[in-house]
Structures are given as C-alpha cells and as structure tokens.
Amino acid sequence: MEWLLAHTHLILIIAALCGFFMAWGVGANDVANAMGTSVGAGALTVKQAVLIAIVFEFAGAYLAGGEVTDTIRKGIIEPSTFTDIPHYLVYTMLSSLLAAGIWLMVASAAGWPVSTTHSIIGAIVGCVAVGIGVDAVNWSKMGDIVTSWVTSPLLAGVISFALIKSVQRLILDTEDPFERAKKYVPLYMFLTGFVIALVTVTKGLKHVGFHFSVLENIAVSFVTGCVVAVIGALLLSRIQPDPEADKSFRFSSVEKIFAVLMIFTACAMAFAHGSNDVANAVGPLAAIYGVMQNAGAVASKSAMPHWILLIGAIGIVTGLAFLGARVMATVGKRITELTPSRGFAAELGAATTVVMASGIGMPISTTHTLVGAVLGVGMARGIGSLNLRVIGTIFTSWVVTLPAGALLAILFFYFFKGLFGA
C-alpha cells in the first residue's frame, strides 16, 4: 500500500482511464438499448438520441441518484473486508472496471444487449471470492440479483402489454384513429411526466435541499404531468393527417403523433437509466479515489467528485455515439417490429419499472427491463411476431455475463497484484 500512496496521481490516472473505458461500455450497450426503441421505431436519429442522453442521463444521475454513491456495489461485499488490505480494494475495482468494460465492448460489437449492472457485479464478486475468500461475498444479495433477472423484465413486460392494449382499444381499433390519438396521447404524456416527476421529488430532490410531504410530492408531480401534457398537445396540434400515406398504411398519420410522444418517453427512459445505472461506471472509480485520498482508509461510501462525474459522462456519450448503433438495432428492430406506438409502450413500461425499482432500492437491470418491455409489446400481437432466435441469443448473453465478468476480473486482479505488489 505504501507504493500506491507514494504514486497516488499515477494510480488515479490509471483508475480514470479504466473508469472512462467502463463508461464507454455503458454508453455503447446500456444507453444504446435504452434509446434503441426510439431509434428503431424511427422517432429519433442516433444524433438526437445522443443529445437526449447527455441531458437526461445527467439529470437522472444527480436528481434521482444523489450526491453520494454507494461505491461498494449493492452491498455485495462488506467494506470491513478491506480494512487491513485496502490495496486489494484498489486492485478489485481496477480489475472490475477493465473486465466489465471489455465484456461490454465485446457484447456491443456483437449487438448483444447485456446488463452493465451484472457485468460489474460479476467482476467484483469474482475478484473478492478468489482473491480474498468466498465468505467475503454477500451471497444473499446475489440471490436478490438473480431474482431480478426474472422480476424486472416480467414487470416491465406486463406494464408495456397493458399500455399497448390500451392504445389498441382507445385509438387504433376505432373508426377515426387519428383524431382519437390527438385526444388520448396527451394523457399518456401526462402519465410520463407524472411518473418521472414523482421519483424525482420523492427520491432525488432531498439531495439538493428540498423536502416535501407525500401530498406535496403528488401535487408537484401532478402539475409537472399537466405541463408535459400541455406542451405535448401544442406540438400535436401542428400535425396534420396524410391521406396518401394512410392509403398504404392505415395508421401512418397516427404513428406521427406517437413519434412525438416517443420523444417524451425517450427522455423518461434516459432519466430512469441515469437514476439507476450511472454508478456502474463511476462507483468503482469513486471507491479507488476514496482509498487514495484517505491514506488507505476504507469507507462504505465516498463523496463523488465532479471530475469523476465528468469522466463518466464523456465516456457514456462517446460509447453511445461510436458503437451504440448495433445494440440499438437489436433492441429496436430484431426482437420484434416496432412502430412509434409500440415503442412508446415499451419505453414507458421500462422507465416506470426502473424508477419504481430505483425508489425502493431493488437491484435491477435496465437492459433486462427494456427487453422484457419489448417482449411484452410483441406478445400483444402474438408470439409469432417475436424473433425467438434473437431472444434466445439475448438470454444466453445474460447468463454468460456474470461468469465472463468474473473470469476476466480475476485475471486482471492477479495482474495488478503482481505489478504493484501484494
């Protein structure tokens, strides 16, 4: 540990590079699949998705994630484990960032939407179990994570299924779907604004000095939802039906209205992802910073310096821009055919599930949630509308993620142990 403390700046530079690499992977995979439904449905271009991610990922991370990040991810290991061996915590976090980053790069290049949460957790568990001891891992928390593989996509699928069924009943299966869309889409916009505002005021604003009662929370969220609905209604008023386009596809004009709605749900999904998953990239980096700044002392939580958030933000946006298109194509086009109305249902269902989970502290994967939501939308049209081969590949990649991250992290752990000393 003495050598590490004597070269604090060098270690922090290495950690920053590893953190940027991991953030790049989060952007290429996690943010890409969060935006995949909007891009796949044709509501947004890749450039527009990047711009939305910049704004709303940050807003979600700060307002709904708080100023302090739990750097020992999800309680899967005890900080006291590293009291006498703080340098092992540095090795573990460096190894985990590199391992998870590599796995995310491989998965993104192949177009597999995998979980960044499970990538980093698998890496940390592998390092701790092999490098320190099996007893140092909180296996009950790992059980919760495995359970979330089923619960999060199932819940998102049910919500999205209900949403698309309501769209079919209220709008699509009527004599004048265009006018019905103009009437009911603002209600869906209200719902989007209400859900995101509710998680912000109940979970996030306390971190910036605001404290509201339950009734005040609901009132603020209601007003926010109304404002979003009014803005949406103004935008919709400019859209006119296109009779020529409707001849080849009856709902062509209707889908233009839902394309506007998808801009709102894309913002909601980016916010939800920021509130839940940004710490996957910057949490381990903050843990290393805490050890180096406290002369080897290990704490369960560390304040998040602004430069770490900046590294995370730049890495996420860069990864999305450079390699995000492949995962977007898988989620947005290859699982099932998405139109703006279907994409809206998937995004709002996933965003609602994520912000609910973030509010109650449930371990959840944004990736699994969104894929579950897309499956729910596909099931509303029948199982024949789903590409079962692609779904099988996605599920296989989910199972492989934990052991892949663990194996790579173990190799890097012993590399750093040999490089810097035991």
pLDDT, position 73: 47
Residue 64 has pLDDT above 50, yes or no: yes
Give me the mean pLDDT over the 263-271 stretch.
81
Give me the mean pLDDT over the 387-405 stretch.
88
Residue 163 has pLDDT above 70, yes or no: yes
Per the model's pLDDT, the better-predicted residue between 202 and 17 turns out to be 17
pLDDT, position 28: 87
Give me the mean pLDDT over the 357-380 stretch.
80
**Tally of domains within the chain:** 1
Q: How far apart are CA 301 and CA 277, in angstroms?
A: 17
pLDDT digits (tens, 9 = 90+) for 134-149: 888 888 877 877 787 7
Query: What are phi and psi for residue 137, nearest 5 degrees?
Result: -95, 135
Give me the mean pLDDT over the 417-421 stretch.
85
Question: In the predicted model, what is the mean pLDDT of the chain?
Answer: 83
pLDDT, position 66: 47
Residue 71 has pLDDT above 60, yes or no: no
Give me the mean pLDDT over the 285-300 stretch.
80
Under DSSP, is residue 95 helix (H, G, I), strand (E, B) or coil? helix
The residue range of the domain holding 172 is 2-420
Confidence of residue 281 (pLDDT cuts 50, 70, 90): confident
The one-character DSSP state at 77 is: B
Residue 227 has pLDDT above 90, yes or no: yes
Which helix (H) or strand (E) covers residue 70, if one does?
strand 68-70
Confidence of residue 72 (pLDDT cuts 50, 70, 90): very low
pLDDT, position 282: 82
Please spell the DSSP secondary structure of 329-394, one letter per residue.
Answer: HIIIIISS---HHHHHHHHHHHHHHHHHHHHHT----HHHHHHHHHHHHHHTT-GGGS-HHHHHHH
Q: Which of 405, 420, 403 is nearest to 95 (CA)?
A: 405
Whether the model clears a pTM of 0.85, i.e. scores above it, the answer is: no
